[in-house]
Amino acid sequence: MNSSKSTVISVQEVTWMSLLIAMQMVLSKLSIGSNIMKVGFSFLAIGLLGYYFGPFKAAIANVIADVISNVVMPSGGGFFLGFTFSALIAGVIYGYMLHNHKVTILRSFLTVLLITVIVNTGLNTLWIHMMTNVPYVALLIPRLTKEAFSLVYQTGLLYIVLKWIDNSKFNKIGR
């Protein structure tokens, strides 16, 4: 199998990446709660992309997932390139933090913290501001509560899933 530093993608890797992209698209449509406090699960598929394939491949796969989901299952806001950039950065963070590292609660927390601060709270709030012309701070304040809650449940779920995979026969996929 190719080394993690290789940019060549094998057929097996493309297959697993495709399954995880499909999983991300399905999980992005499954959420619990209202628009104010929505709990989603698509981060698990992105985390798995990073865990298995590293920052470069996870970033590319996450961008592909963003574009495909906007074509196949468009949301009310339409396609915005800023969110695709956020997907790229999220893939890099998940890949850099999770690929070829021991699964720990601290590493899971730091990964989710980086995603929460840089991507969700920082970049995505900026993109919403640019699309709606609502002042950045007015968008930021209600999002902080949601993101604080997301930090807790995403850390827990990501750790549980990665720990289970690390101890299973699925820990060698893409490696």
Work out the average pLDDT over 115-130: 94
Q: Is residue 82 part of a domain?
A: yes
Domain containing 146: what range? 11-172
6 three-state secondary structure? coil
CA angle 164, 159, 40 (to 5 degrees): 110
Residue 105's pLDDT is 97
β 39-40/31-32 pair status: antiparallel
What burial class does residue 102 get, using C-beta atoms within 10 Å of its C-beta: 0-12 exposed, 13-18 middle, 19+ buried?
A: exposed
Residue 39, classed as helix, strand or coil, is strand
Label residue 10 by pLDDT band (50, 70, 90): confident
Q: For 74-78, what is the mean pLDDT?
A: 73
Residue pair 157/39 in contact (Cβ under 8 Å)? The answer is no
Query: Which is more confidently placed, 146 or 6?
Result: 146
Mean pLDDT, residues 32-48 taken together: 83
**4 within domain boundaries:** no
CA of 70: how far to CAs of 12, 84, 126, in Å? 25, 10, 19
| Mean pLDDT of the 128-137 span | 90
The structural domain count of the chain equals: 1
- The rounded distance, in Å, linking the Cα atoms of 31 and 132 is 23
Q: CB-side exposure of 34: number of CA atoms within 13 Å?
A: 1
Domain-located, residue 70: yes
pLDDT at 64: 95
Within a domain: 2: no
Confidence of residue 66 (pLDDT cuts 50, 70, 90): very high
- Say how many CA atoms lie within 13 Å of 129 toward its Cβ: 15
Residue 76: pLDDT over 80: no
Which CATH number characterizes residue 116's domain? 1.10.1760.20
Closest by Cα among 11, 4, 118 to 126: 118
Residue 46 lies in a domain: yes
Does some domain include residue 3?
no
Residue 172 to residues 1, 143, 169, Cα–Cα distance (Å): 10, 37, 7
Residue 29 pLDDT > 50: yes
Average pLDDT over the chain, rounded to an integer = 88
CA angle 25/100/110 to nearest 5° reads 70
Average pLDDT of the segment spanning 64-79: 84
Which tokens go with 164?
């289970």
Say what the pLDDT of residue 51 is.
Answer: 95
Q: What is the mean pLDDT of residues 51-67?
A: 95
Structure letter (DSSP) for residue 99: T
Q: Token pair for residue 26? A: 């399905």
Per the domain annotation, does 137 fall within a domain? yes
- Please indicate, yes or no, if residue 55 is contained in any of the structural domains: yes
